[in-house]
């Protein structure tokens, strides 16, 4: 496709320019340079607001010279030219100034005369109280013939100047010059358009050639906007078509149908359930049951609010598969959570769980009183004692374990299954497409797959990060769920509240309830709270950004120190306080959890190991110390641990930061709502886009160029619908070779260059 775009750059812009571009930008083909889009546009006639310039990175700006003076340096030979520039265009904003120094700047000395309009490119730094630049590149705007192309002064003043991501060695305007040469030498209109003509005309898009011309060399603001709109949509369509094609390829695979058994463990389980399923649980359950019974694999994402009861939904699906003679694997992000699932699933199953180890695929004979058989549930984690782990692996391989619950140890090559029918991935956003594939490879035939998120995620994130999966949502909480009230406890403004927290804890404990205290650190000399081998229990990379903006280090609450302090705390005399963190021995961890679950321990001091899934109904108060160290989703997930048993929950977000500190915004957001969807939107707004897609998308994919997941929701949804229709009509995209090629390129950005070199 598009042989023109595959050509080495030197064939079109000459060897010298091509090698400069390759060296500094790493671009080597016509297509790569053509797709190197401006980051923004300056307007010739307008000065760039100096206060808004990014610090410490290459910036391009237009300014007016105020003064120019040169002196000889004393300490060494040479001269220093100081030029002061301003963004003062006579408007009513407070003018900013920038001090620019040139060493031996002969050209600067003669050309940068007061009154001239100049475009500079260089690094802006804050030095003392003022902004400055040293030896930037510059061009005189009122003289430069290249950038104009017109003699009409009004038109010239309104003309946008593209600003490219530049480097210290290659200015934005040199890049623009190379691209202009390229635009003049290649046949733009011969480029194949990845957009199907029907869509292009429906949207009244520019032709692709025209769009390339105008995104790089616009004459008006409308020009680049129209070009950008087109490429943005194109990007969304390529992405969504790639995902739709993958969905359809997955659906076309042959899986083993796991039909429900009228008299199986599942129906026995349903009969003994101590509560009624919510309408949402029932509806999703029906969908899953239907999809499991098909001979094409289910690939589904289950999103749900914290506490909405995803585990029961997953367990019912697993039981259907076990009834049909298959095995199910439940993959949890941490050992604590795996162990917790193991305990609570066996508890929920009651008599239906068995420890015996014969029979096929987890099904025993009709041996239990209920006459429905039972299921053998096995735990498999990396840190289990060797003998127990070997036994668990044997149970999985022989098929005697119907349900295998584990951490990523389940992914290891050594773990095999007799007949893996369903994989459930719990609370895990960091699973890319490739890891899902690795799991799928564990089964003889493609297994059914259910991915569950820890907290709800915005629709567009679901459509992009998890775009190859169908989505179900549980949006109601089981009846009788008590509300959680959340308060920010600012110790900076109210130091006295510190003591009040422990009195409040005591009140809960005296009422027979229990308390969680969460700390950001384990001990005094660490900064991590995850034991080796545990996956970070975070969500969609949505929870740990922007957390290190503190400036000078402050003493953060650690599990060890807090346990010690609480031992001395008068208000807590006689209360059993235990620590829990990822570096403890697994046996100790599970002992601690058991003791807490049985209310033998009343106050648990822990790291975020309890972030997900942990379920102790009697816990009513959660105190999060240095809460500003955690992300929004993490806090939301954490507080979901209380208020689970019909008792109202309280969450205290304790911080020592001053009221107005930016990190307190997250705390205020969490305190203001318990709606996970609202919070995840808020979370996304407070962080950079790349973190969402970068961490979660499978390796090798380029990150999005023009698309912003939050801003362009409507456009992404439109592209998704278009993509679905395209793929439904033409799964192999035979009629859309240019689109198919664009997808290949997108999925494998290395390939193009590789083919050239090879």
Residues within the interface to ligand ADP (CB under 6 A): 275, 277-278, 281, 304, 306-312, 478, 613, 615, 644
Cross-strand bridge partners of residue 42: 161
Decide whether 482 or 725 has the Cβ nearer to ligand ADP: 482
Decide whether 311 or 633 has the Cβ nearer to Mg ion: 311
> Which of ligand ADP, Mg ion, none does 482 bind, CB closer than 5 to 8 A by kind?
none
Decide whether 679 or 733 has the Cβ nearer to Mg ion: 679
Q: φ and ψ at 737, to 5 degrees?
A: -60, -35
Q: φ and ψ at 40, to 5 degrees?
A: -160, -175
Q: With CA atoms as reference, report the closest residue to 200 among 209, 295, 751, 312.
A: 209
Complete DSSP assignment for 106-128: HHHHHH--TT-EEEEEEE-EEET
Contact (Cβ atoms closer than 8 angstroms) between residue 649 and residue 484: yes
> Which of Mg ion, ligand ADP, none does 632 bind, CB closer than 5 to 8 A by kind?
none
Contacts of 522 (CB under 8 A, 6+ apart): 528, 529, 558, 559, 560, 581, 582, 583, 607
Q: With CA atoms as reference, report the closest residue to 424 among 400, 445, 440, 401.
A: 440
Decide whether 317 or 704 has the Cβ nearer to ligand ADP: 317
Q: Which of helix, strand or coil describes residue 525?
A: coil
Q: Which CB contacts under 8 angstroms, 24+ apart, belong to 662-665? A: 662/549, 663/546, 663/547, 663/549, 663/550, 663/628, 664/488, 664/490, 664/628
Contact (Cβ atoms closer than 8 angstroms) between residue 242 and residue 747: yes
> Which of ligand ADP, Mg ion, none does 275 bind, CB closer than 5 to 8 A by kind?
ligand ADP
Decide whether 43 or 348 has the Cβ nearer to Mg ion: 348
Question: Closest separation between CB of residue 426 and Mg ion, Å?
Answer: 6
Decide whether 319 or 727 has the Cβ nearer to ligand ADP: 319
Structure tokens at 552: 């000078």
Decide whether 103 or 275 has the Cβ nearer to ligand ADP: 275
> Which of Mg ion, ligand ADP, none does 194 bind, CB closer than 5 to 8 A by kind?
none
Decide whether 311 or 634 has the Cβ nearer to Mg ion: 311
Decide whether 167 or 471 has the Cβ nearer to ligand ADP: 471
Question: Closest separation between CB of residue 540 and ligand ADP, Å?
Answer: 16
Decide whether 277 or 725 has the Cβ nearer to ligand ADP: 277
Question: Closest separation between CB of residue 307 and ligand ADP, Å?
Answer: 5
What is the DSSP code (8-state) at residue 629?
G
Question: Closest separation between CB of residue 30 and ligand ADP, Å?
Answer: 51
Q: Which of helix, strand or coil describes residue 368?
A: coil
- Phi-psi category of 663—alpha, beta or left, where left has phi over 0 and alpha has psi -120 to 50? alpha
> Which of ligand ADP, Mg ion, none does 308 bind, CB closer than 5 to 8 A by kind?
ligand ADP
Question: Closest separation between CB of residue 405 and ligand ADP, Å?
Answer: 14
Q: Tell me how far CA of residue 527 lies from CA of 336, 350, 558, 565, in angstroms.
A: 20, 40, 9, 20
Question: Closest separation between CB of residue 310 and Mg ion, Å?
Answer: 5
Question: Closest separation between CB of residue 281 and ligand ADP, Å?
Answer: 6
Complete DSSP assignment for 18-44: HHHHHHHH---BHHHHHT---SEEEET
Question: Closest separation between CB of residue 429 and Mg ion, Å?
Answer: 13
Question: Closest separation between CB of residue 312 and ligand ADP, Å?
Answer: 5
Nearest-CB residue for ligand ADP? 309
Question: Closest separation between CB of residue 534 and Mg ion, Å?
Answer: 17
Question: Closest separation between CB of residue 307 and Mg ion, Å?
Answer: 8
Q: With CA atoms as reference, report the closest residue to 486 among 657, 656, 639.
A: 639
Q: Tell me how far CA of residue 446 lies from CA of 220, 257, 350, 419, in angstroms.
A: 53, 11, 31, 11
Placement of tokens 């943005």 in the chain = 232
Q: Tell me how far CA of residue 379 lies from CA of 20, 346, 413, in angstroms.
A: 57, 11, 17
> Which of ligand ADP, Mg ion, none does 620 bind, CB closer than 5 to 8 A by kind?
none
Q: Which of helix, strand or coil describes residue 603?
A: strand
Binding residues (CB under 5 A) for Mg ion: these are 311, 613
Decide whether 278 or 415 has the Cβ nearer to ligand ADP: 278
Cross-strand bridge partners of residue 451: 301, 425
Q: With CA atoms as reference, report the closest residue to 410 among 428, 430, 390, 393.
A: 393
Decide whether 304 or 406 has the Cβ nearer to ligand ADP: 304
Rg for the chain, CA atoms, rounded: 31
**Strand 97-103 to 79-86 pairing:** antiparallel
Question: Closest separation between CB of residue 340 and ligand ADP, Å?
Answer: 9
Q: How many C-beta atoms lie closer than 10 Å to residue 188's C-beta?
A: 18
């Amino acid at each position: 496709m598009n042989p023109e775009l595959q050509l080495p750059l030197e064939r079109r812009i000459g060897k010298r320019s091509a090698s400069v571009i390759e060296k500094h930008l790493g671009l080597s083909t016509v297509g790569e340079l053509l797709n190197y889009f401006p980051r923004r546009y300056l307007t010739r006639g307008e000065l760039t607001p100096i206060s808004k310039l990014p610090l410490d990175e290459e910036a391009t700006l237009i300014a007016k010279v105020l003064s120019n003076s040169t002196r000889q340096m004393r300490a060494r030979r040479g001269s220093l030219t100081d030029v002061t520039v301003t963004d003062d265009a006579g408007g009513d904003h407070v003018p900013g100034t920038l001090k620019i120094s040139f060493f031996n700047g002969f050209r600067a000395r003669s050309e940068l005369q007061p009154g001239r309009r100049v475009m500079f490119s260089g690094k802006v730094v804050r030095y003392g109280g003022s902004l400055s630049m040293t030896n930037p590149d510059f061009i005189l705007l009122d003289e430069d013939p290249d950038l104009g192309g017109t003699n009409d002064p009004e038109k010239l003043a309104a003309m946008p100047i593209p600003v490219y991501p530049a480097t210290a060695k290659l200015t934005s305007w040199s890049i623009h010059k190379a691209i202009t040469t390229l635009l003049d030498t290649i046949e733009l209109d011969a480029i194949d358009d990845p957009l199907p003509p029907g869509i292009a005309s429906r949207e009244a898009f520019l032709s692709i050639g025209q769009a390339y011309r105008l995104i790089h060399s616009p004459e008006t603001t409308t020009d680049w906007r129209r070009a950008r709109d087109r490429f943005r949509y194109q990007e969304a369509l390529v992405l969504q078509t790639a995902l739709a094609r993958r969905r359809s390829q997955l659906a076309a695979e042959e899986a083993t149908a796991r039909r429900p058994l009228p008299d199986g463990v599942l129906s026995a389980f349903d009969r003994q359930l101590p509560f009624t399923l919510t309408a949402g649980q029932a509806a999703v359950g029906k969908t899953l049951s239907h999809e499991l019974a098909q001979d094409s694999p289910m690939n589904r994402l289950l999103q749900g609010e914290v506490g909405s009861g995803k585990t029961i939904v997953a367990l019912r699906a697993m039981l259907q598969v076990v009834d049909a003679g298959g095995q199910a694997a439940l993959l949890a992000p941490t050992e604590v959570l795996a162990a917790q699932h193991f305990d609570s699933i066996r508890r929920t199953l009651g008599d239906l769980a068995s420890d015996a180890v014969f029979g096929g695929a987890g099904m025993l004979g009709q041996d239990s009183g209920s006459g429905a058989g039972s299921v053998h549930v096995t735990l498999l984690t990396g840190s289990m004692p060797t003998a127990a782990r070997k036994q668990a692996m044997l149970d999985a391989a022989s098929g005697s374990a119907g349900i295998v619950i584990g951490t990523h140890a389940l992914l290891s090559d050594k773990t095999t299954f007799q007949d893996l029918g369903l994989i459930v991935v719990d609370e895990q956003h960091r699973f890319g497409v490739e890891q899902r594939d690795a799991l799928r490879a564990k089964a003889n035939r493609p297994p059914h797959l259910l991915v569950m998120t820890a907290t709800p995620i915005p629709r567009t994130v679901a459509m992009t990060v998890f775009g190859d999966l169908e989505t179900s949502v549980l949006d109601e909480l089981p009846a009788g769920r008590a509300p959680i009230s959340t308060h920010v406890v600012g110790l900076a403004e109210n130091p006295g509240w510190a003591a009040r927290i422990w009195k409040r804890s005591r009140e809960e404990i005296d009422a027979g309830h229990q308390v969680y205290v969460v700390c950001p650190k384990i001990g005094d000399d660490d900064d991590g709270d995850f034991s080796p081998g545990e996956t970070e229990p975070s969500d969609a990379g949505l929870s740990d950004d922007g957390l290190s903006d503190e400036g000078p280090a402050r003493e953060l609450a650690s599990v060890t120190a807090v346990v010690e302090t609480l031992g001395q705390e008068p208000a807590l005399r006689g209360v059993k306080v235990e620590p829990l963190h990822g570096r403890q021995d697994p046996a100790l961890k599970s002992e601690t959890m058991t003791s807490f679950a049985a209310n033998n321990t009343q106050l648990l001091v822990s790291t975020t190991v309890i972030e997900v899934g942990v379920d102790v109904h009697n816990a009513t108060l959660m105190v999060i110390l240095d809460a500003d160290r955690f992300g929004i989703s993490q806090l939301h997930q954490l507080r979901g641990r209380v208020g689970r048993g019909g008792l109202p929950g309280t969450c205290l977000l304790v911080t020592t930061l001053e009221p107005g500190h930016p990190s307190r915004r997250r705390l205020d957001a969490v305190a203001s709502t318990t709606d996970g969807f609202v919070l995840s939107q808020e979370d996304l707004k407070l962080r950079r886009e790349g973190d969402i897609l970068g961490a979660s998308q499978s390796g090798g994919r380029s990150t999005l160029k023009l698309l912003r997941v939050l801003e362009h929701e409507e456009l992404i949804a439109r592209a998704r619908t278009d993509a679905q229709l395209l793929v439904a009509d033409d799964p192999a995209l035979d009629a859309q070779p240019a689109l198919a090629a664009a997808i290949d390129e997108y999925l494998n950005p290395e390939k193009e260059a590789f083919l050239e070199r090879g």
